[in-house]
Amino acid sequence: MWEYVAAATVCYLVGSFPTGFLVGRWLRGIDVRDYGSGATGATNILRTLGARAFLFVLLADVLKGWIPVLLVWYLTESHNVQVAAGIAVILGHDFPVFIGFRGGRGVATAMGVYAALTVPMAFALVPIAIFVLLAFRYMSVMSLVTIPLGGAVLLALAVADLEPYSKAVFGLVASALIVLRHRENIGRLIRGTEPKLGEGGDARGGARSKIARIT
């Protein structure tokens, strides 16, 4: 049991490292949660800070999921502990203890965990993600397609006795978190108001009020 507790705690703290938030403070002195979607992930960084910051945060968020979960496997050789660590690192990214539990959506971090669990599947998802993004130009659509697709693949592999069912459990949990964290995006997609790639970086309500008072 201590392995589960230790792995989940450490990975939650790693996931909580607020890369996007810190980059926003460093580059522009802003809280990126006051802009765009209000998230700290790479998509909102693209909207508010541009492509270079986006690539940096995207890579960092992927590594947050990949490195610690891979290390857990090497240290414990337990798929169950590894999956617990993967779930914990996504929860840390989504609900980071260091900045008031307001983080990102967990897409890049989930892809990193997928890479730690099953490298070929993770690499196969990348061109699919690029195709969906170029075809629809909605980051949210790409997210809602790729992560659940990965979960479906893990389930199929488990049914075929090629991967343990614990990995399928991770895919299910990750997919559910992605859908829950994209509830607002789904509503905007239905209404036709969802910002496309790189759009929608304006100040949110509270930030607009602050700016108005200053000016």
Q: Tell me the CA distances in angstroms from 93 to 61, 67, 193, one per residue in order.
A: 8, 14, 26
pLDDT at 69 (0 to 100)? 98
In a domain, 11, yes or no: yes
110 contacts: CB under 8 Å, gap ≥ 6: 65, 90, 147, 150, 174, 177, 178
Whether 118 maps to a domain, the answer reads yes
Q: Is residue 214 part of a domain?
A: no
- 91 is a domain residue: yes
Q: 156-182 in b/e burial notation, b at 16+ Cβ within 10 A?
A: ebbeeeebbbbbbbbbebbbebbeebb
* Domain annotation covers residue 210: no
Residue 197, pLDDT score: 84
- How many structural domains does the chain have? 1
Find the domain containing 44 and state its range. Answer: 2-203
Ranges of the chain with pLDDT below 50 = 208-215
Look at residue 35 and give its three-state secondary structure: strand
- What was the pLDDT predicted at 112? 98
Look at residue 205 in the predicted model and tell me its pLDDT.
Answer: 66
Token duo for residue 119: 């490298």
Which pLDDT score, from 0 to 100, does residue 210 have?
Answer: 45
Q: Which residues contact 55 (CB under 8 A, 6 or more apart)?
A: none
Question: Could you tell me if residue 81 is inside a domain?
Answer: yes
- Contacts of residue 186, Cβ cutoff 8 Å, sequence gap at least 6: 140, 144, 179
Q: Is residue 129 part of a domain?
A: yes
Is residue 196, in this structure, part of any structural domain at all?
yes
pLDDT value of position 157: 96
Q: Rounded to an integer, what distance in angstroms lies between the CA atom of residue 211 and that of residue 215?
A: 6
